Amino acid sequence: MACTTILVGKDASYDGSTIIARNEDSANGEFNPKRFIVVRPTEQPRHYRSVLSHVEVDLPDNPLQYTAVPNADTKEGIWGEAGVNEANVAMSATETLTTNERVLGADPFVELTPAKGKPGEDGYEPETPGGIGEEDFLTLVLPYIKTAREGVKRLGSLLEQFGTYEMNGVAFSDSHEIWWLETVGGHHWIAKRVPDEAYVTMPNQLGIDEFDLDDALEDQESHMCSADLAEFIEHNHLDLAVESTSPFNPRDAFGSHSDSDHVYNTPRAWYMQRFLNPYDEVWDGKDADHTPESNDIPWARQPERKITIEDVKYVLSSHYQGTPFDPYGHLGDEHTRHMYRTIGINRQSQLSVMQIRPYRPQSNRAIQWIAYGSNPFNTLVPFFPNVDTTPKYFEDTTTRVTSENFYWENRIIAALCDAAFSDTANAVERYQEKTGGMAHRLIAATDEQVSRLGGENEAKAKQLEDEFEADNLDGDVEPLEPDQIIEVVRDQEVRDVLAAANQTMADQIKEETDKLLDTVLYITSMKMKNGFNRSDN
Protein backbone atom coordinates (compact mmCIF):
# COMPACT_ATOMS: atom_id res chain seq x y z
CA MET A 1 0.00 0.00 0.00
CA ALA A 2 1.21 3.49 -0.84
CA CYS A 3 0.83 5.33 2.47
CA THR A 4 2.26 8.25 4.46
CA THR A 5 3.06 8.18 8.19
CA ILE A 6 3.83 10.81 10.83
CA LEU A 7 4.78 10.02 14.44
CA VAL A 8 4.82 12.69 17.15
CA GLY A 9 6.69 12.20 20.42
CA LYS A 10 4.99 13.28 23.64
CA ASP A 11 7.24 16.32 24.18
CA ALA A 12 6.65 17.43 20.59
CA SER A 13 2.84 17.24 20.77
CA TYR A 14 0.59 20.07 21.91
CA ASP A 15 -0.77 18.27 24.98
CA GLY A 16 1.88 15.72 25.96
CA SER A 17 0.18 12.87 24.10
CA THR A 18 1.93 10.34 21.94
CA ILE A 19 0.45 10.56 18.43
CA ILE A 20 0.84 8.08 15.58
CA ALA A 21 -0.94 8.65 12.28
CA ARG A 22 -0.99 7.15 8.81
CA ASN A 23 -2.84 7.52 5.54
CA GLU A 24 -3.82 4.15 4.13
CA ASP A 25 -3.81 4.58 0.36
CA SER A 26 -5.17 1.91 -1.95
CA ALA A 27 -3.20 0.58 -4.89
CA ASN A 28 -3.30 2.55 -8.13
CA GLY A 29 -6.52 2.00 -10.03
CA GLU A 30 -8.66 0.73 -7.17
CA PHE A 31 -10.56 1.75 -4.02
CA ASN A 32 -10.73 -0.20 -0.75
CA PRO A 33 -13.87 0.77 1.20
CA LYS A 34 -13.10 0.76 4.94
CA ARG A 35 -15.02 0.10 8.16
CA PHE A 36 -14.32 1.14 11.76
CA ILE A 37 -15.05 -1.72 14.15
CA VAL A 38 -14.46 -3.18 17.61
CA VAL A 39 -13.12 -6.74 17.66
CA ARG A 40 -14.20 -8.53 20.84
CA PRO A 41 -12.14 -11.39 22.30
CA THR A 42 -14.79 -13.90 21.22
CA GLU A 43 -14.47 -12.68 17.62
CA GLN A 44 -10.70 -12.99 17.48
CA PRO A 45 -9.58 -16.20 15.68
CA ARG A 46 -7.52 -18.77 17.55
CA HIS A 47 -6.10 -20.10 14.29
CA TYR A 48 -5.35 -17.61 11.52
CA ARG A 49 -4.93 -18.23 7.79
CA SER A 50 -3.86 -15.42 5.49
CA VAL A 51 -5.92 -14.96 2.33
CA LEU A 52 -3.01 -13.69 0.24
CA SER A 53 -0.07 -15.79 1.42
CA HIS A 54 -1.91 -18.81 2.89
CA VAL A 55 0.38 -18.75 5.92
CA GLU A 56 -1.24 -20.30 9.01
CA VAL A 57 -0.56 -19.06 12.54
CA ASP A 58 -1.84 -20.44 15.85
CA LEU A 59 -2.82 -17.54 18.12
CA PRO A 60 -2.77 -17.31 21.93
CA ASP A 61 -5.84 -17.55 24.11
CA ASN A 62 -7.17 -14.55 26.04
CA PRO A 63 -6.78 -11.82 23.41
CA LEU A 64 -7.60 -8.24 24.29
CA GLN A 65 -10.42 -6.33 22.68
CA TYR A 66 -9.24 -3.84 20.06
CA THR A 67 -10.40 -1.51 17.31
CA ALA A 68 -9.53 -1.94 13.65
CA VAL A 69 -10.23 -0.35 10.26
CA PRO A 70 -10.63 -3.43 8.03
CA ASN A 71 -11.71 -3.69 4.41
CA ALA A 72 -15.44 -3.79 3.80
CA ASP A 73 -14.76 -6.45 1.16
CA THR A 74 -12.66 -9.21 2.76
CA LYS A 75 -11.90 -11.15 -0.42
CA GLU A 76 -8.23 -10.13 0.00
CA GLY A 77 -8.19 -10.51 3.79
CA ILE A 78 -8.85 -8.37 6.85
CA TRP A 79 -6.34 -5.52 6.48
CA GLY A 80 -7.05 -4.19 9.99
CA GLU A 81 -4.55 -1.32 9.55
CA ALA A 82 -4.94 0.75 12.73
CA GLY A 83 -6.35 0.33 16.22
CA VAL A 84 -6.10 0.67 19.99
CA ASN A 85 -6.44 -2.23 22.43
CA GLU A 86 -7.67 -2.45 26.02
CA ALA A 87 -4.19 -1.81 27.41
CA ASN A 88 -4.24 1.60 25.69
CA VAL A 89 -1.63 0.48 23.17
CA ALA A 90 -2.00 1.71 19.59
CA MET A 91 -0.69 0.12 16.41
CA SER A 92 -0.49 1.34 12.80
CA ALA A 93 0.36 -1.27 10.17
CA THR A 94 1.77 -0.68 7.66
CA GLU A 95 3.80 1.82 5.71
CA THR A 96 5.09 0.02 2.63
CA LEU A 97 8.84 0.59 2.31
CA THR A 98 11.53 0.32 -0.36
CA THR A 99 14.69 -1.77 -0.29
CA ASN A 100 17.53 -2.76 -2.60
CA GLU A 101 18.86 -5.77 -4.48
CA ARG A 102 21.64 -6.51 -1.99
CA VAL A 103 19.16 -6.98 0.86
CA LEU A 104 16.84 -9.13 -1.23
CA GLY A 105 19.75 -11.25 -2.39
CA ALA A 106 20.85 -11.82 1.21
CA ASP A 107 17.37 -12.45 2.68
CA PRO A 108 14.71 -12.97 -0.02
CA PHE A 109 11.04 -12.34 0.62
CA VAL A 110 8.96 -15.34 1.66
CA GLU A 111 6.45 -15.54 -1.18
CA LEU A 112 3.60 -17.94 -1.84
CA THR A 113 4.54 -20.69 -4.32
CA PRO A 114 1.37 -22.19 -5.83
CA ALA A 115 0.96 -25.94 -6.08
CA LYS A 116 2.00 -27.64 -9.29
CA GLY A 117 -0.32 -30.30 -10.64
CA LYS A 118 -2.88 -32.18 -8.56
CA PRO A 119 -2.46 -34.50 -5.56
CA GLY A 120 -1.76 -38.06 -6.72
CA GLU A 121 -0.41 -36.99 -10.10
CA ASP A 122 3.22 -37.51 -11.08
CA GLY A 123 5.29 -34.43 -10.40
CA TYR A 124 2.78 -32.92 -7.98
CA GLU A 125 4.30 -30.30 -5.71
CA PRO A 126 2.20 -28.84 -2.86
CA GLU A 127 2.05 -25.11 -2.40
CA THR A 128 4.54 -23.34 -0.16
CA PRO A 129 2.86 -20.61 1.94
CA GLY A 130 4.28 -17.13 1.94
CA GLY A 131 5.08 -15.00 4.98
CA ILE A 132 3.00 -12.45 6.88
CA GLY A 133 2.28 -8.95 5.63
CA GLU A 134 0.09 -5.89 5.91
CA GLU A 135 -3.02 -8.00 5.51
CA ASP A 136 -2.16 -9.83 8.74
CA PHE A 137 -0.06 -7.70 11.09
CA LEU A 138 -2.73 -5.95 13.18
CA THR A 139 -4.74 -9.14 13.74
CA LEU A 140 -1.64 -11.13 14.73
CA VAL A 141 -0.14 -8.56 17.09
CA LEU A 142 -2.43 -5.90 18.60
CA PRO A 143 -4.68 -8.21 20.71
CA TYR A 144 -1.65 -9.72 22.47
CA ILE A 145 0.47 -6.76 23.58
CA LYS A 146 0.31 -4.55 26.67
CA THR A 147 3.00 -1.98 25.84
CA ALA A 148 4.45 -0.48 22.68
CA ARG A 149 7.74 -2.24 23.39
CA GLU A 150 5.93 -5.59 23.61
CA GLY A 151 4.45 -4.88 20.18
CA VAL A 152 7.92 -4.62 18.64
CA LYS A 153 9.02 -7.86 20.26
CA ARG A 154 5.95 -9.84 19.23
CA LEU A 155 6.01 -8.68 15.63
CA GLY A 156 9.77 -9.20 15.46
CA SER A 157 9.44 -12.80 16.63
CA LEU A 158 6.69 -13.47 14.07
CA LEU A 159 8.84 -12.03 11.29
CA GLU A 160 11.75 -14.24 12.28
CA GLN A 161 9.51 -17.31 12.40
CA PHE A 162 7.28 -16.84 9.35
CA GLY A 163 9.06 -14.20 7.29
CA THR A 164 7.37 -11.56 5.15
CA TYR A 165 6.74 -11.03 1.44
CA GLU A 166 7.15 -7.24 1.51
CA MET A 167 9.02 -4.38 3.16
CA ASN A 168 6.94 -2.64 5.80
CA GLY A 169 7.11 -0.04 8.56
CA VAL A 170 4.95 -0.44 11.67
CA ALA A 171 4.26 1.99 14.54
CA PHE A 172 3.41 1.16 18.16
CA SER A 173 2.56 3.63 20.90
CA ASP A 174 1.44 3.82 24.51
CA SER A 175 1.24 6.87 26.73
CA HIS A 176 5.00 6.81 27.40
CA GLU A 177 6.70 6.03 24.11
CA ILE A 178 6.49 5.38 20.37
CA TRP A 179 8.39 2.65 18.54
CA TRP A 180 8.91 2.33 14.79
CA LEU A 181 9.76 -1.07 13.26
CA GLU A 182 11.07 -1.59 9.73
CA THR A 183 11.37 -4.97 8.04
CA VAL A 184 14.67 -5.82 6.34
CA GLY A 185 14.36 -8.50 3.68
CA GLY A 186 12.40 -11.64 4.39
CA HIS A 187 13.16 -12.27 8.06
CA HIS A 188 15.18 -9.40 9.54
CA TRP A 189 13.96 -6.22 11.21
CA ILE A 190 15.05 -3.12 13.09
CA ALA A 191 13.11 -0.89 15.49
CA LYS A 192 13.84 2.50 17.02
CA ARG A 193 12.17 4.50 19.76
CA VAL A 194 10.97 7.88 18.52
CA PRO A 195 12.67 10.62 20.57
CA ASP A 196 10.12 12.26 22.88
CA GLU A 197 10.98 15.72 21.59
CA ALA A 198 10.81 14.81 17.90
CA TYR A 199 8.46 13.89 15.09
CA VAL A 200 9.07 11.37 12.32
CA THR A 201 8.01 11.51 8.65
CA MET A 202 7.71 8.31 6.61
CA PRO A 203 6.79 8.38 2.87
CA ASN A 204 6.96 4.75 1.56
CA GLN A 205 10.73 4.65 1.91
CA LEU A 206 12.93 2.94 4.47
CA GLY A 207 13.51 5.82 6.83
CA ILE A 208 15.70 5.21 9.90
CA ASP A 209 19.00 6.99 9.24
CA GLU A 210 20.82 6.39 12.55
CA PHE A 211 20.86 3.13 14.49
CA ASP A 212 22.83 2.02 17.55
CA LEU A 213 23.51 -1.68 16.99
CA ASP A 214 25.18 -2.08 20.38
CA ASP A 215 22.08 -0.79 22.16
CA ALA A 216 19.81 -2.96 20.00
CA LEU A 217 21.77 -6.12 20.82
CA GLU A 218 22.32 -5.34 24.51
CA ASP A 219 20.32 -2.88 26.65
CA GLN A 220 17.59 -2.13 24.05
CA GLU A 221 16.97 1.26 25.59
CA SER A 222 16.04 2.91 22.30
CA HIS A 223 16.83 0.29 19.64
CA MET A 224 15.87 -3.32 18.91
CA CYS A 225 16.58 -5.70 16.05
CA SER A 226 16.65 -9.32 14.95
CA ALA A 227 19.24 -11.25 16.96
CA ASP A 228 21.67 -11.92 14.11
CA LEU A 229 21.51 -8.49 12.47
CA ALA A 230 25.19 -7.61 13.06
CA GLU A 231 26.35 -10.84 11.42
CA PHE A 232 23.80 -10.37 8.62
CA ILE A 233 25.19 -6.90 7.85
CA GLU A 234 28.82 -7.97 7.99
CA HIS A 235 28.45 -11.24 6.07
CA ASN A 236 26.55 -9.53 3.23
CA HIS A 237 28.67 -6.33 3.10
CA LEU A 238 25.64 -4.11 3.69
CA ASP A 239 27.30 -1.32 5.70
CA LEU A 240 28.15 1.40 3.17
CA ALA A 241 29.98 3.75 5.52
CA VAL A 242 33.29 4.90 4.04
CA GLU A 243 34.90 4.79 7.48
CA SER A 244 34.07 2.81 10.59
CA THR A 245 31.49 5.17 12.02
CA SER A 246 28.78 5.03 14.61
CA PRO A 247 25.83 5.14 14.51
CA PHE A 248 25.07 2.76 11.65
CA ASN A 249 22.90 4.15 8.79
CA PRO A 250 20.13 1.64 7.91
CA ARG A 251 18.73 3.86 5.16
CA ASP A 252 21.99 3.56 3.21
CA ALA A 253 22.39 -0.15 3.94
CA PHE A 254 18.83 -1.43 3.55
CA GLY A 255 16.96 1.27 1.64
CA SER A 256 16.84 2.76 -1.84
CA HIS A 257 17.73 6.04 -3.52
CA SER A 258 16.09 5.39 -6.88
CA ASP A 259 14.87 7.90 -9.43
CA SER A 260 11.30 6.90 -8.60
CA ASP A 261 11.90 7.77 -4.92
CA HIS A 262 12.53 11.36 -6.00
CA VAL A 263 9.11 11.50 -7.64
CA TYR A 264 7.09 9.32 -5.31
CA ASN A 265 8.62 9.42 -1.82
CA THR A 266 11.10 12.12 -0.84
CA PRO A 267 8.87 15.07 -1.87
CA ARG A 268 6.37 14.05 0.80
CA ALA A 269 8.97 14.09 3.60
CA TRP A 270 10.23 17.41 2.26
CA TYR A 271 6.81 19.03 2.39
CA MET A 272 5.88 17.75 5.85
CA GLN A 273 9.14 18.98 7.36
CA ARG A 274 8.93 22.22 5.39
CA PHE A 275 5.58 22.87 7.10
CA LEU A 276 6.63 21.84 10.62
CA ASN A 277 10.10 23.46 10.52
CA PRO A 278 9.69 26.41 8.15
CA TYR A 279 12.48 28.54 9.61
CA ASP A 280 15.15 26.01 10.57
CA GLU A 281 16.52 25.83 7.06
CA VAL A 282 16.01 27.01 3.48
CA TRP A 283 13.46 24.80 1.75
CA ASP A 284 12.99 26.49 -1.62
CA GLY A 285 15.11 27.75 -4.49
CA LYS A 286 18.63 27.05 -5.65
CA ASP A 287 20.06 27.58 -2.14
CA ALA A 288 17.71 25.10 -0.43
CA ASP A 289 19.22 22.89 2.26
CA HIS A 290 16.83 20.13 1.24
CA THR A 291 14.82 19.82 -1.97
CA PRO A 292 11.94 17.49 -2.83
CA GLU A 293 14.53 15.12 -4.31
CA SER A 294 17.05 15.08 -1.46
CA ASN A 295 18.16 11.67 -0.20
CA ASP A 296 19.20 12.93 3.24
CA ILE A 297 15.99 14.43 4.62
CA PRO A 298 16.12 13.50 8.34
CA TRP A 299 14.01 10.65 9.67
CA ALA A 300 13.30 12.53 12.93
CA ARG A 301 13.61 16.17 13.93
CA GLN A 302 12.39 18.53 16.62
CA PRO A 303 9.56 20.82 15.45
CA GLU A 304 9.72 24.57 15.79
CA ARG A 305 6.48 24.55 17.77
CA LYS A 306 4.28 21.91 19.37
CA ILE A 307 2.33 19.78 16.87
CA THR A 308 -1.48 19.62 17.04
CA ILE A 309 -4.02 17.14 15.71
CA GLU A 310 -4.87 19.76 13.08
CA ASP A 311 -1.22 19.91 11.99
CA VAL A 312 -1.19 16.13 11.57
CA LYS A 313 -4.35 16.29 9.47
CA TYR A 314 -2.97 19.17 7.40
CA VAL A 315 0.30 17.52 6.43
CA LEU A 316 -1.41 14.20 5.71
CA SER A 317 -3.91 16.03 3.47
CA SER A 318 -1.40 18.22 1.69
CA HIS A 319 -1.04 18.63 -2.04
CA TYR A 320 2.04 20.88 -1.85
CA GLN A 321 0.08 24.08 -1.19
CA GLY A 322 2.11 27.23 -1.68
CA THR A 323 4.60 25.57 -4.03
CA PRO A 324 4.82 25.15 -7.83
CA PHE A 325 3.97 21.47 -7.29
CA ASP A 326 0.33 21.94 -6.17
CA PRO A 327 -1.99 20.28 -8.74
CA TYR A 328 -4.75 22.69 -7.64
CA GLY A 329 -2.49 25.75 -7.48
CA HIS A 330 -1.59 28.65 -9.73
CA LEU A 331 2.17 28.67 -9.22
CA GLY A 332 4.50 26.93 -11.63
CA ASP A 333 3.07 25.37 -14.79
CA GLU A 334 1.32 22.21 -15.96
CA HIS A 335 4.61 20.32 -15.74
CA THR A 336 5.58 21.29 -12.19
CA ARG A 337 2.03 20.84 -10.87
CA HIS A 338 2.20 17.16 -11.68
CA MET A 339 5.86 16.43 -10.98
CA TYR A 340 5.44 14.75 -7.59
CA ARG A 341 3.06 12.35 -5.95
CA THR A 342 0.96 14.29 -3.42
CA ILE A 343 0.27 13.23 0.17
CA GLY A 344 -3.48 13.89 0.02
CA ILE A 345 -4.33 11.72 -2.97
CA ASN A 346 -7.48 10.52 -4.70
CA ARG A 347 -7.13 6.87 -3.65
CA GLN A 348 -6.87 7.43 0.09
CA SER A 349 -8.79 4.73 1.96
CA GLN A 350 -8.63 5.96 5.54
CA LEU A 351 -6.59 8.05 7.95
CA SER A 352 -6.23 7.00 11.58
CA VAL A 353 -4.65 9.32 14.15
CA MET A 354 -4.18 7.57 17.49
CA GLN A 355 -3.70 9.82 20.48
CA ILE A 356 -2.84 8.46 23.94
CA ARG A 357 -3.31 11.18 26.56
CA PRO A 358 -1.33 10.77 29.82
CA TYR A 359 -3.32 13.53 31.56
CA ARG A 360 -6.57 11.58 31.39
CA PRO A 361 -7.57 8.50 33.42
CA GLN A 362 -6.85 5.20 31.71
CA SER A 363 -10.56 4.57 31.11
CA ASN A 364 -10.89 7.37 28.53
CA ARG A 365 -7.24 8.07 27.77
CA ALA A 366 -7.16 6.87 24.15
CA ILE A 367 -8.72 8.55 21.11
CA GLN A 368 -8.72 7.18 17.59
CA TRP A 369 -9.41 9.92 15.07
CA ILE A 370 -10.84 8.64 11.77
CA ALA A 371 -11.16 10.07 8.26
CA TYR A 372 -12.26 8.23 5.12
CA GLY A 373 -11.52 8.95 1.48
CA SER A 374 -9.41 11.70 -0.10
CA ASN A 375 -7.96 13.81 2.71
CA PRO A 376 -8.07 17.29 1.09
CA PHE A 377 -11.88 17.04 1.13
CA ASN A 378 -12.72 15.17 4.34
CA THR A 379 -12.66 15.78 8.08
CA LEU A 380 -11.08 14.02 11.05
CA VAL A 381 -13.54 12.54 13.57
CA PRO A 382 -12.57 11.48 17.13
CA PHE A 383 -13.78 8.26 18.71
CA PHE A 384 -13.10 6.67 22.07
CA PRO A 385 -11.89 3.13 21.20
CA ASN A 386 -12.58 1.44 24.54
CA VAL A 387 -16.24 0.74 23.81
CA ASP A 388 -18.33 -2.29 22.88
CA THR A 389 -19.50 -1.13 19.44
CA THR A 390 -18.83 1.63 16.92
CA PRO A 391 -21.43 3.90 15.24
CA LYS A 392 -23.13 2.34 12.21
CA TYR A 393 -22.35 5.36 10.02
CA PHE A 394 -18.66 4.42 10.33
CA GLU A 395 -19.01 0.66 10.73
CA ASP A 396 -21.55 -0.36 8.09
CA THR A 397 -19.57 0.55 4.98
CA THR A 398 -20.96 -1.28 1.96
CA THR A 399 -19.22 -2.37 -1.22
CA ARG A 400 -21.70 -0.34 -3.26
CA VAL A 401 -21.81 3.44 -3.50
CA THR A 402 -24.26 5.14 -1.14
CA SER A 403 -24.44 8.41 0.76
CA GLU A 404 -25.67 6.60 3.87
CA ASN A 405 -22.21 5.78 5.22
CA PHE A 406 -19.29 8.07 5.90
CA TYR A 407 -16.83 6.33 3.56
CA TRP A 408 -18.83 6.64 0.35
CA GLU A 409 -20.26 10.05 1.21
CA ASN A 410 -16.70 11.36 1.47
CA ARG A 411 -15.81 9.71 -1.84
CA ILE A 412 -18.73 11.43 -3.59
CA ILE A 413 -17.84 14.82 -2.08
CA ALA A 414 -14.18 14.49 -3.12
CA ALA A 415 -15.05 13.60 -6.72
CA LEU A 416 -17.35 16.62 -6.97
CA CYS A 417 -14.93 19.02 -5.29
CA ASP A 418 -11.86 17.93 -7.24
CA ALA A 419 -13.55 18.90 -10.48
CA ALA A 420 -14.43 22.35 -9.09
CA PHE A 421 -11.69 22.91 -6.55
CA SER A 422 -11.67 26.71 -6.41
CA ASP A 423 -15.46 26.93 -6.33
CA THR A 424 -15.91 24.41 -3.51
CA ALA A 425 -12.77 25.07 -1.41
CA ASN A 426 -14.50 27.55 0.92
CA ALA A 427 -17.35 25.14 1.64
CA VAL A 428 -14.91 22.34 2.44
CA GLU A 429 -12.82 24.58 4.71
CA ARG A 430 -15.89 25.76 6.61
CA TYR A 431 -17.00 22.13 7.05
CA GLN A 432 -13.56 21.08 8.31
CA GLU A 433 -13.33 23.99 10.75
CA LYS A 434 -16.85 23.50 12.09
CA THR A 435 -16.53 19.74 12.55
CA GLY A 436 -13.09 20.18 14.11
CA GLY A 437 -14.52 22.53 16.70
CA MET A 438 -17.37 20.11 17.35
CA ALA A 439 -14.84 17.33 17.86
CA HIS A 440 -12.83 19.15 20.50
CA ARG A 441 -15.96 20.27 22.32
CA LEU A 442 -17.29 16.72 22.43
CA ILE A 443 -13.99 15.36 23.75
CA ALA A 444 -13.95 17.97 26.53
CA ALA A 445 -17.58 17.32 27.43
CA THR A 446 -17.02 13.56 27.53
CA ASP A 447 -13.91 13.93 29.67
CA GLU A 448 -15.94 16.01 32.10
CA GLN A 449 -18.76 13.45 32.15
CA VAL A 450 -16.31 10.62 32.93
CA SER A 451 -14.76 12.72 35.70
CA ARG A 452 -18.22 13.28 37.22
CA LEU A 453 -18.99 9.58 37.46
CA GLY A 454 -17.10 9.52 40.75
CA GLY A 455 -18.24 7.13 43.43
CA GLU A 456 -17.17 3.54 43.12
CA ASN A 457 -15.37 4.06 39.80
CA GLU A 458 -13.22 6.89 41.14
CA ALA A 459 -12.42 5.01 44.35
CA LYS A 460 -11.44 1.93 42.38
CA ALA A 461 -9.07 3.93 40.18
CA LYS A 462 -7.54 5.58 43.26
CA GLN A 463 -7.00 2.20 44.91
CA LEU A 464 -5.23 0.85 41.85
CA GLU A 465 -3.05 3.95 41.66
CA ASP A 466 -2.08 3.61 45.34
CA GLU A 467 -1.10 -0.01 44.73
CA PHE A 468 1.22 0.93 41.89
CA GLU A 469 4.73 0.78 43.35
CA ALA A 470 6.75 2.49 40.63
CA ASP A 471 7.33 6.22 40.55
CA ASN A 472 4.84 8.36 38.72
CA LEU A 473 5.97 8.11 35.11
CA ASP A 474 6.33 11.33 33.13
CA GLY A 475 3.38 13.11 34.72
CA ASP A 476 0.97 10.25 34.11
CA VAL A 477 -2.16 10.99 36.17
CA GLU A 478 -2.99 7.28 36.54
CA PRO A 479 0.22 5.25 36.20
CA LEU A 480 -0.97 1.67 36.31
CA GLU A 481 0.55 -1.63 35.34
CA PRO A 482 -0.88 -3.09 32.09
CA ASP A 483 -3.21 -5.60 33.75
CA GLN A 484 -4.57 -2.85 35.96
CA ILE A 485 -5.12 -0.63 32.92
CA ILE A 486 -7.19 -3.37 31.31
CA GLU A 487 -9.31 -3.74 34.45
CA VAL A 488 -10.02 -0.01 34.60
CA VAL A 489 -10.75 0.24 30.88
CA ARG A 490 -13.35 -2.53 31.14
CA ASP A 491 -15.53 -0.49 33.50
CA GLN A 492 -18.93 -0.77 31.83
CA GLU A 493 -20.29 2.50 33.16
CA VAL A 494 -17.46 4.42 31.52
CA ARG A 495 -17.77 2.40 28.32
CA ASP A 496 -21.44 3.31 28.06
CA VAL A 497 -20.59 7.01 28.40
CA LEU A 498 -17.90 6.74 25.73
CA ALA A 499 -20.17 4.81 23.36
CA ALA A 500 -22.87 7.46 23.74
CA ALA A 501 -20.32 10.18 22.98
CA ASN A 502 -19.18 8.29 19.88
CA GLN A 503 -22.75 8.03 18.64
CA THR A 504 -23.35 11.73 19.27
CA MET A 505 -20.22 12.54 17.28
CA ALA A 506 -21.31 10.29 14.42
CA ASP A 507 -24.79 11.85 14.34
CA GLN A 508 -23.37 15.38 14.26
CA ILE A 509 -20.85 14.48 11.57
CA LYS A 510 -23.51 12.90 9.39
CA GLU A 511 -25.64 16.01 9.62
CA GLU A 512 -22.73 18.28 8.64
CA THR A 513 -21.50 15.92 5.91
CA ASP A 514 -24.99 15.74 4.39
CA LYS A 515 -25.04 19.54 4.31
CA LEU A 516 -21.64 19.66 2.60
CA LEU A 517 -22.78 17.14 0.00
CA ASP A 518 -25.87 19.25 -0.69
CA THR A 519 -23.72 22.36 -1.07
CA VAL A 520 -21.04 20.99 -3.37
CA LEU A 521 -23.60 19.11 -5.45
CA TYR A 522 -25.43 22.39 -6.06
CA ILE A 523 -22.20 24.30 -6.84
CA THR A 524 -20.96 21.72 -9.31
CA SER A 525 -24.41 21.27 -10.88
CA MET A 526 -24.50 24.98 -11.68
CA LYS A 527 -21.28 24.49 -13.68
CA MET A 528 -22.76 21.85 -15.98
CA LYS A 529 -22.32 22.61 -19.68
CA ASN A 530 -26.03 22.48 -20.43
CA GLY A 531 -26.97 25.23 -18.01
CA PHE A 532 -28.93 28.27 -19.21
CA ASN A 533 -29.17 31.56 -17.36
CA ARG A 534 -32.81 32.38 -18.17
CA SER A 535 -35.19 31.40 -15.38
CA ASP A 536 -38.04 29.00 -16.09
CA ASN A 537 -40.28 30.93 -13.68
Question: Which active-site residues does the annotation give?
Answer: 3
Task: For residue 398, give Cα distances in angstroms to 134, 499, 510.
Answer: 22, 22, 16
237: left (phi over 0), alpha (psi -120 to 50) or beta: left
Task: For residue 384, give Cα distances in angstroms to 1, 222, 313, 369.
Answer: 27, 29, 18, 9
Burial of 73 (0-12, 13-18, 19+ CB in 10 A): middle
Q: Which residues partner with 503 through β-bridges?
A: none
Give phi and psi for 369, each to the nearest 5: -85, 135
CA 493 remoteness from chain centre? 30
Distance CA 9, CA 300 (A): 10
Closest to 147 (Cα-Cα) out of 186, 190, 176: 176
Distance CA 327, CA 345 (A): 11
Element holding 94 (H helix, E strand): strand 90-96
Number of residues that make up the chain: 537
CA 357 remoteness from chain centre? 17
Residue type, 381: V
